[in-house]
A and B are shown apart, each in its own frame.
Chain A
């Protein structure tokens, strides 16, 4: 097999996929921005779970943020490695380009390798953007701490996350317009009104709260309650993962996670929640 010819073909596959991605200019830009906002999420999550016990468990000289970034990058690569090859073939089949490729003078292994190259390169670039974005997030966090004294930090955080989520949703919408070409749309499902988060720290307590109180809409009530009880300024909250500021009163955190009742006569009130609300 002519190695130079093989590399040329693989490069042709890469340029093909890049040219297709370039065709969706808005999506390309938003994907980059989404990576930056994704790293912000990890950063605040790391601040939330930061504790001496956790620090002692992590390797020396590192913190949870770095640990999480490496972990997420690893799982991203794993997920792409598991899906890239069959996804590329499936995509070609749906585009009806598979037969056109198979009758060319290119062997199937080269077609597979070439088709799977772009997802790996795109992921590598996204990881680079994340790594480059982490100092920016740290800088923004410092600004946030300064703003905290003015009482506006939580709103600022909220806006950051809303923008991040908006970009993610917009990206998905743009890609979903022509799913045959992108085929990887729908990274997140649309959020429902009573969603907190399925993968966030609030998931288990919210579920537990729903079970304890018999409240089928504990999640939605938790959001409403947080607004009514004036927790909004104190909590960086979005439709997804709730993010709490460091050095916050654990009782408030618990109230929020469990779905604090607005007052003791609330129709879905739970004894534990009433006690928390009264205290």
Chain B
């Protein structure tokens, strides 16, 4: 974690401080090869054994993408060297039953980090684990732990009804049909879409599709919930209901671990126990909302973040 001198920020919990973002400095047995930017790095085994038992552990995660090529150079895309840095040694952890918000400007790496944790993309370097299961080496077991929903990506079959969609995804999550029906009834009621469950999804409004996506993420009762902009497209009342659901029912009631990315700072203040501020792929700060305000001497989270975050910067390229 990069710390700015004189800011006096509280460290992430547990304090994963490293020298030059080397995960080997944090965890015994974790060694990385040279930082050659090839997009591949062999990491020593038994990572999770050395990690504390957190719901989410991220240690020195780096991610490089190949540069976007156009014209005839696009033919070289599959073999292009990954040089565009999206994450630069991100390290933090989230305890069980904790709600943590990922905050930062556009292009900071929030969604990339969530996609790595959701086992959709592989980290170039570093380790990430969900409930002790490495997202790269033990992805099938890691997938059992979380529910994932992105606000902008509905991913439903528009010709099927909402119920048929949820039944399909329940089957994909190994839920027996009876249990699936029960869960579908419960989550659809929680999301306020129980009256529309037999309508085709193509007739749904954007907000309703979004609620359906949240219902799908909660269907298998995950211990960890990862959301990318959870209240996007929701009307203010629905957003307030959702915040209540996330904080009171899921995090406090069931002990669900919540990691969400958001640009709505009022929502972050209401839901999050801690805030991880990302900027240009690095963790700039990691503290409670009040802690951030106190450390920066500002009255609001917005002021604290605008003071901490740099102006929007493009992703740095390796030399």
Contacts and interface: CB of A to CB of B under 8 A. Distances in A.
A96 B171 contact: no
Contacts of B146: 103
Contacts of B220: 105
Given A97-B155, A99-B153, A99-B155, A104 B172 contact: yes
Contacts of A16: 157, 160, 164, 168
Q: Give the interface centre of B171, B173, B216 by most chain A CB atoms within 10 Å.
A: B171
B155 A105 contact: no
Contacts of B159: 19-20, 23-24, 178, 181
Contacts of A173: none
Contact of A19 (B118, B156, B164, B173): B164
B158 A105 contact: no
A99 to B, nearest CB: 6
Interface residues of B, number: 28
A8 interface: yes
Contact of A96 (B155, B168, B169, B200): B155
The main secondary structure of chain A at its interface with chain B is helix
Contact of B143 (A19, A100, A103, A178): A103
Contact of A23 (B156, B160, B173): B160
B140 interface: yes
A28 interface: no
Contacts of B153: 96, 99-100
A105 B157 contact: no
B148 interface: yes
B119 A95 contact: no
A105 B173 contact: yes
Contacts of A5: 174
A9 B157 contact: no
Contact of B172 (A19, A96, A105, A181): A105
A23 B144 contact: no
Contacts of A163: none
A276 interface: no
Contacts of B140: 105, 107
B179 interface: no
A102 B150 CA distance: 13
26 contacts: A5-B174, A9-B171, A9-B172, A16-B157, A16-B168, A19-B159, A19-B160, A20-B157, A20-B159, A20-B160, A23-B160, A24-B159, A95-B157, A97-B155, A97-B157, A100-B153, A100-B155, A100-B156, A101-B172, A103-B119, A103-B146, A104-B172, A105-B173, A105-B220, A178-B159, A181-B157
Given A104-B173, A107-B140, A178-B159, 15 more contacts: A16-B168, A20-B157, A20-B160, A23-B159, A23-B160, A95-B158, A97-B155, A97-B157, A100-B216, A103-B143, A103-B148, A104-B172, A105-B143, A105-B174, A106-B173
Interface of B: 118-120, 140, 143-144, 146, 148, 150, 153-160, 164, 167-169, 171-174, 200, 216, 220
